[in-house]
Structure 1
Amino acid sequence: MGPVVATAVSGTVLIAAGAFWLSFTSLADLARRSGITPEQAWAWPLIVDGIIVVATVAVVALSPSARPRATWYPWLLLASGAAVSVAANALHAVIAADAAVPDVVAAAVASVPPVVLLAITHLTVHLTRNVDAATPPEPDGPTPAPAAPPSEANAVDQRAEAEQLRLDGMSNRAIARHLGVHPSTVGRWLAPIDSTPESATAPTTRRSNESQPT
């Protein structure tokens, strides 16, 4: 992870933590005002805002590979959690707002933290997932050394084998496949053999026939 991406991820985590804290305190106070004991009031905002985080991670994790029908439930949870959190924060702002502040303004301000929490969680998951996909995996073991080029002695052995295979009647292409070399290499090795004319003995035979009396 590069420094730019690390800074972006750190910033999104800090913003998400701040948005979660603001929404948490508002929802906890609303839970206490609604009759939930102070010892249990902290659980209500944890459930409401926690489902936003979990559902966002589930949606992003399932999106690349899952079918659309497989993601409808995480999307439903995400939309429901966001709607409840925004509505509850706005309701708390109306109940606890200062009289000098209009209710609409108080509700709009209180709705910002849950919306930011939803957006920033989605962004954080996207950042971490895309960085992991772009980073090539490191090999488990030591990097293998590059294969050494064939030695000169090995080339001589291959040439001798190629000549023997050619004498056995194998074609150049078949010899190249057998030795794992290019057909042009085999042709270069066997050039002296191919260049020997089959009629080299013909003049001798002809001269021998002509020397015999008719």
Structure 2
Amino acid sequence: MPEHELTLPPPGLAGQTPVRVRMDAQVGLAIAAAVLTTALTAVSFWLSFESLHDLATAHRLQGERAWAWPATVDAFIAIGELLILRASLMSRVDPWAIVLTAAGSLGSIVLNIASVGVSDDPLDYVTAAVPP
């Protein structure tokens, strides 16, 4: 049995059987969380891109430029998140990565809300703000 699968009992419980840690369950949960996080991120970016594309076309950007503009806005978020992951794997905090992610998120949220225009229903604005 591999050494990392066993834990020692707390000092007050000496003489009792050690508890086996289920590494396969932990790995399975980590994989499921990674898959769901990736799916959520992909759908969120798609919704945000659609909204920002509509805003770009409403303001005279056409064709490839109308699709490239949302990419430049939301790329701040993606780059910042990758830099946060890198810092996390190095057990560090990268303040610039946090600033980059926050700036991209706030910019994307504001622009997605702006794409709604004038509406009497407050949920229109909430729905526009949620994807990023």
Alignment of 1:106-145 (within 5 A): 106-114=124-132
Aligned Cα RMSD in Å? 2.0
* Preserved CA contact (<8 Å) 1:24 1:45: yes
TM-score, normalised relative to structure 1: 0.45
Moved over 3 A (4+): 63-66
| Matches of 2:51 and 2:128, distance apart in 1 | 8
Aligned equivalents of 1:75, 1:9: Cα separation in 2: 20
Measure the CA separation in 1 of the matches of 2:106 and 2:49.
15
Name 1:56's counterpart in structure 2.
Answer: 81
Tell me which residue corresponds to 1:179.
Answer: none
Q: Deviations over 1:158-183 (max 9, x none)?
A: xxxxxxxxxxxxxxxxxxxxxxxxxx
Residues 94, 106 of structure 1: 8 Å contact kept: no
1:91 pairs with 2:114: yes
Q: Could you say which residue in structure 1 is the equivalent of 2:123?
A: 105
- Listed as ranges, the gaps of 5+ residues in structure 2 are 1-23
Rounded Cα–Cα distance in structure 2 between residues aligned with 1:113 and 1:82 = 10
Whether 1:28 and 2:46 are equivalent positions in the alignment is: no
Match of 1:74 among 87, 94, 97: 97
Query: What is the percent sequence identity of the aligned residues?
Result: 31
Q: What secondary structure, in the 3-state scheme, does the structure 2 residue paired with 1:15 have?
A: helix
CA distance in 1 between partners of 2:57 and 2:75 (Å): 19
Equivalent residue letter for 1:45 = P
Number of residue pairs matched by the alignment: 106
Partners of 1:59 and 1:74 within 8 A in 2: yes
Secondary structure of the corresponding residue to residue 113 of structure 1: coil
Larger radius of gyration: 1
**What is the TM-score when the length of structure 2 is the normalising length?**
0.70
Distance change (3 Å), C-alpha of 1:8 and 1:75: closer
| 1:1-50: CA deviation from partner (whole Å, max 9, x where unpaired) | 73332222111111111111100100011011111112211111111112
Structure 1 residue ranges without an equivalent (≥5): 115-214
CA distance in 2, matches of 1:3, 1:74: 28
Q: For residues 8 and 73 of structure 1, what CA distance do their matches in structure 2 show? A: 26
User: 1:49-87, CA deviations, whole angstroms, 9 ceiling, x for partnerless residues?
Assistant: 121011112123225455x6xx33222211211111000
